[in-house]
A and B are shown apart, each in its own frame.
Chain A
Amino acid sequence: SAVISQKPSRDICQRGTSLTIQCQVDSQVTMMFWYRQQPGQSLTLIATANQGSEATYESGFVIDKFPISRPNLTFSTLTVSNMSPEDSSIYLCSVDWTGQNIQYFGAGTRLSVL
């Protein structure tokens, strides 16, 4: 299976600041996905990131708040902008490198906003 590394693993940030989360995969993949998981909740898909094109955002998520970069086939970043305490959550990236709709996830980034 693909190895997915996320950085940072956790962070504590001040309200109004921004945090960029990195996701590195050891295999080339077409699509990468970003999820949010609030405490005790299931995962919510934020956006799908294709290399070389704009990310596709799910309902309730906008590019100004969660800009995503996908500069190559092994790397992506998600920025959480102008943070508020409501953004405190775990953010996860995933890939489907098999092409069989099987997702492989990173360990996640635990974000706390004060």
Chain B
Amino acid sequence: LAKTTQPISMDSYEGQEVNITCSHNNIATNDYITWYQQFPSQGPRFIIQGYKTKVTNEVASLFIPADRKSSTLSLPRVSLSDTAVYYCLVGEGNTGGFKTIFGAGTRLFVKA
């Protein structure tokens, strides 16, 4: 499993776009990049997953450069409710039940 490195914490203000970058220099060919969000007293929640280039859903965008050694989660126009811990994980997709190892995550604080 590739190791990931993220900033420990980030601050933002409501309405701003937030970009959280994750480094994964040892990513393997079959690895996908997956991001989770965790609020206090809740289990992590899947946000987005990608393999290369750009993926967008109703919650976020994920940008992955050609070398795939990093990825950036982009949250458009954050609100106070986006204050949470965000985890970047790298591992094989489409393998059915492959275990997930969590890194330290990034604590995002959104201020009014």
Verify B103–A30 contact, CB threshold 8 A.
no
Q: With a CB–CB cut-off of 8 A, which chain A residues contact B41? A: 107-108, 110
Taken together as a complex, chains A and B put the C-alpha atoms of A19 and B82 apart, in Å, by 34
B28 within 8 A of A: no
Given contacts A42-B102, A101-B34, contact A96 B43 (CB under 8 A): no
Most buried by B among A45, A48, A104, A105: A105
With contacts A33-B100, A43-B102, A45-B99 taken as known, whether A100 is within 8 angstroms of B93 at the C-beta atoms is yes
Residues on B with C-beta less than 8 A from A30 are 96-97
User: At the interface, yes or no: B81 with Cβ under 8 Å from chain A?
Assistant: no
CA distance A56 to B88 in the complex (A): 24
**A31–B104 alpha-carbon span in the complex (Å):** 24
B interface, size bucket: 20 to 34
A42 and B93 contact, Cβ closer than 8 Å, known pairs A105-B45, A108-B41:
no
Q: What per-residue 1/0 map shows which CB atoms of B86-108 lie under 8 Å from chain A? A: 01000111111111111111000
User: Measured between alpha carbons, how far is A31 from B97 in the docked complex, in Å?
Assistant: 6
**A21 → chain B closest CB, angstroms:** 13
List the interface of chain B (C-beta within 8 A of A): 32, 34, 36, 41-46, 49, 87, 91-105
5 contacts across the A-B interface (CB closer than 8 A): A45-B102, A96-B97, A99-B94, A101-B34, A101-B92
